[in-house]
Amino acid sequence: MDADRSTEPNADLPEAIETRVAAHQPLPRNVKVLGGASLLNDIASEMIYPLMPQFLLTVLGGNRFYLGIIEGLAESISSLLKLWSGALSDRAGQRKGFVLFGYSLAAVARPLIGVATAPWHMLAARTADRVGKGLRTSPRDALIADSTPPGQRGRAFGFHRAMDHLGAAIGPVLATGFLLLWPGELRILFLLTIVPGLAVVALLAVGLREKASELAAPEPVAGPRKRLDRNFQLYMASLIVFTLGNSSDAFLLVRAGELGVPTALLPLLWCAFHLVKSSGNLLVGRAVDRLGARPLIIGGWIFYAGVYLAFAAVSNAWQVTAVFLAYGLFYALTEPAEKTFVTSLVGETGKGLAYGWFNFAIGIATLPASLIFGWLYEQYGSPVAFGWGAGLAIVAALLLTGAASPPAANAKPAVSKE
């Protein structure tokens, strides 16, 4: 079978046989291309992301409040665009243009930080970078689903997330090596991110293929006003509840430092953490296709609760290191499953809109999650802060159990107009 072509399930085959057949087929070309693009893009992004706060504070003369404005504004704009771009890709009847333009904008904007001379310059470049992310993310997720048979989607999303995390592990290592050879040359390092950025654009322009048969007919009405059915709404509600307790992983680095992990070793711990996420996504993605998405999401959220309680209980460097690496398994359990569950609930049409709501739900809860966690950590200490996160994870898991079984893979989405 041609690995480049998306295939619909054969109605004559029992679902279990169809899943086993899809599991042994090679991943579609588009999935591999998008995985490679995420690998290169995250190498570029993570080369500079850990260094941007220091650059803002020490080179551009900004402050921590301005840093909060930059990240908060950029991520908020990105979240809104993720909602609209997915719906618009449904209406346009094509997704490659959104994906290519989004990555291209990031490839150009990211290196501009290297020529910034004032904090507002960094705000503009960072916002443009996040606009690119907002434009590409939901259409990209929908294109992965469009290009992949239903029985292979867990594996496809697991592969994509694995490549993303692998890039996030490689980027800091390259940046560290560069700064060891050329200390203090942050501007040159920022400018060099244009190299992997342009490689992403070239890869997508040449390698990404979108056939008319891979995308359902354009929706007559596309936009956030279209409302998906109760099961999807319940999934979004549970996702928001969970995300409100899922603060920035930067707090875990703070906890590791408090318990004695040397500052010089934190980048290595961060790299190892991403390697665990990458390898875990590759392995667990296949399990999603066999076991179903919802059990793995619920199990992952319960595992998250246990890990967060462990972060509160550990008392030395080796313990927090072990828990930190175990935390990477949570991502492996949930990332492929969460994205696969979207198409399990909505069927084969309207996926762009569905992924728009999925990414938007996570985005709007991320900022308050970190604000609440940081306040609890500062006022009451780590046991209360991590206990809050664990408690919301359990509530979210219980809420998700109320969702009915998803429709068949070839079902049409249940949508209505407000």
Domain ranges of the chain: 15-417
What is the maximal distance between C-alpha atoms in the chain? 66
* Cα 98 to Cα 89: distance, rounded to the nearest angstrom: 7
* Cα 233 to Cα 341: distance, rounded to the nearest angstrom: 13
* Cα 253 to Cα 317: distance, rounded to the nearest angstrom: 11
Residue 397 contacts by C-beta under 8 Å, 6 or more apart in sequence?
238, 242, 298, 301, 302, 305
- What DSSP character marks residue 408? P
Go through 113-126 and write b for each residue having 16 or more CB atoms within 10 A of its CB, e for each that does not.
bbebeebeebbbbb
* Cα 22 to Cα 130: distance, rounded to the nearest angstrom: 35
User: How crowded is residue 184: how many other Cβ atoms within 10 Å of its Cβ?
Assistant: 9
Residue 398 contacts by C-beta under 8 Å, 6 or more apart in sequence?
none
* Cα 322 to Cα 314: distance, rounded to the nearest angstrom: 10
Report the pLDDT value the prediction gives residue 68, as an integer from 0 to 100.
Answer: 64
pTM of the model: 0.76
Report the pLDDT value the prediction gives residue 20, as an integer from 0 to 100.
Answer: 55
Instruction: Tell the residue number behind the tokens 């220091």, with chain if given.
Output: 54
CA 49 from centre of chain:
16
* Cα 302 to Cα 306: distance, rounded to the nearest angstrom: 7
- Give the CA-trace dihedral at 212, 215, 220, 224, to 10 degrees: -150
Q: Which residues pair with 228 in a beta bridge?
A: 415
Residue 82 contacts by C-beta under 8 Å, 6 or more apart in sequence?
133, 134, 137, 138, 355, 356, 359, 360, 363
Give the HSE-up count for residue 93: Cα atoms under 13 Å, Cβ half-sphere.
8
User: Do the beta carbons of residue 25 and residue 3 sit within 8 Å?
Assistant: yes
Distances (CA, A) of 49 to 56, 144, 308: 11, 26, 25
Phi, psi (deg, nearest 5) at residue 2? -70, 120
In terms of phi and psi (left: phi > 0; alpha: psi -120 to 50; beta: otherwise), the region of 93 is: left
Distances (CA, A) of 392 to 68, 140, 383: 25, 29, 14
CATH number of this structure's domain 15-417, picked from the four choices 1.20.1250.20, 1.10.10.10, 3.40.50.2000, 1.10.150.20:
1.20.1250.20
Instruction: Tell the residue number behind the tokens 């867990």, with chain if given.
Output: 154
* Cα 391 to Cα 398: distance, rounded to the nearest angstrom: 11
Residues of the chain with pLDDT under 70: 1-24, 64-65, 68, 72, 211-228, 263-264, 348, 403-418
